[in-house]
Structure 1
């Protein structure tokens, strides 16, 4: 992977970016995504944010190498703290866990002023992102699920909305759009997840019972039912 040839995962994120948007890529790593978007002439300006020194230096180096220092501003800082309100129209966050992405969004709410679009690619627990979006005035407009190197990734596109999006527990867990489309990657992901959940269920059956365990068992059973209904 490089700034000319993205991984399928990052390409799916890039495909959700429309021409002329101003993008902040948070946790940008090598800044491959913003470099790719500028070189493809999809966008003219981008910010690459990175909190860790090593990846920050890699991003600086990549942007220089691609001769894009005029168009891409690499900034060091935690999450959305690298942004000023109104600076960008689109924020991308890819390659982290869903709870961490939600935390970044929550902690940087004040920096999201003027942002119309979020493109989020969690490695795990997309459900926590959907919960956050629902609670904070964002609507899920599109989703994609794909398999790459034996891993399955989900990409969520959300836009600001004044109307609260009604999502069922099943839609929150599995994704409202992914649930409708039910692609082969979707089925594979949730079949695999079911196997793991049933194993946990067996272990719980064997464990000493307590009120907290009973509650966890109930939640687990509900989750299993939601998945079974979706993929049967």
Structure 2
């Protein structure tokens, strides 16, 4: 069965362990469970939808592919569609980091017995990392990709064995190979694996973030209030540090577009 899905979903699918019982929350026509079931990569799946329209669309899609015995489409909010101990892997993709954190927090009791989380926030990745750290989930891996001029980060986590193991994810400071020292807070912002790999896509993302931050500061320059001046000062300090990190990492990317053309217009 040939199922066509986006490169983003294919990458997410690659992190779902073979033989998993999958719970895909916010399933979007059940595309991910259908793809995995068609590949016989999962034992079964729950496709969760919070709204009636997407729920019906997912049900129809599952029926059309003849996978009703493998995929159970359920209507409900977040992890309310899952019973405790029912799923071994949970995927939540295509929504903001804040919403992903809310879903995980409100369904925390449903996470007992889950062996892997595969999370793809569209924004607010730092919030997701903070939630994982505070709630005893060890970040095993991260990856970043670009598709249709959009950049996506995927975070893969499992229950931590101990508090000491969690500290390995985010030490108080971390010195990278190029002698750049980052704080724990900076590792949460950039991603401990992504910043070490600092791929071209990663650099592209942070060049864009610097440009956006620069525009915000330009807009703030029009206000002379004490509050705005103080806020702009904080933004400038943040901008300066981000650019310092970006510049240091970019120097190690001789094959990137940035190194060919010099520093982007930030």
| Structure 2 CA distance for aligned equivalents of residues 218 and 71 of structure 1 | 56
Shift of 1:201: 1.6
Kept in 2: contact 1:122–1:153 (CA 8 A): yes
> Residues 57, 98 of structure 1: CA spacing in aligned structure 2 closer, same or farther, 3 A cutoff?
same
Alignment RMSD (CA, Å): 1.8
Kept in 1: contact 2:220–2:228 (CA 8 A): no
- The range that moved more, 196-205 or 46-55, is 196-205
Q: What is the match of residue 76 of structure 1?
A: 75
| Structure 2 CA distance for aligned equivalents of residues 126 and 55 of structure 1 | 25
| TM-superposition CA deviations, 1:189-226 (whole Å, max 9, x none) | 11011011011122223323344872x44553453244
Which of 224, 239, 242 is the equivalent residue of 1:224? 239
Shift of 1:171: 1.2
Q: What is the match of residue 157 of structure 1?
A: 156
What runs of 5+ residues in structure 2 fail to find an aligned partner? 171-183, 248-266
| TM-superposition CA deviations, 1:70-114 (whole Å, max 9, x none) | 111100000001011100111100100111111111111111111
| Structure 1 CA distance for aligned equivalents of residues 234 and 145 of structure 2 | 27
| TM-superposition CA deviations, 1:155-207 (whole Å, max 9, x none) | 11011103333521111111111101111111111101101101112222332
Q: Name the count of aligned residue pairs.
A: 230
| Structure 2 CA distance for aligned equivalents of residues 178 and 142 of structure 1 | 9
Q: What is the match of residue 38 of structure 1?
A: 37
- The range that moved more, 68-77 or 161-170, is 161-170
Greater radius of gyration (CA): 2
Which is bigger in relative contact order (C-alpha 8 A, separation at least 6)?
1
> Residues 226, 72 of structure 1: CA spacing in aligned structure 2 closer, same or farther, 3 A cutoff?
farther
| TM-superposition CA deviations, 1:35-54 (whole Å, max 9, x none) | 11111111111100000111
TM-score, normalisation: structure 2: 0.82
Shift of 1:230: 2.8
What runs of 5+ residues in structure 1 fail to find an aligned partner? none
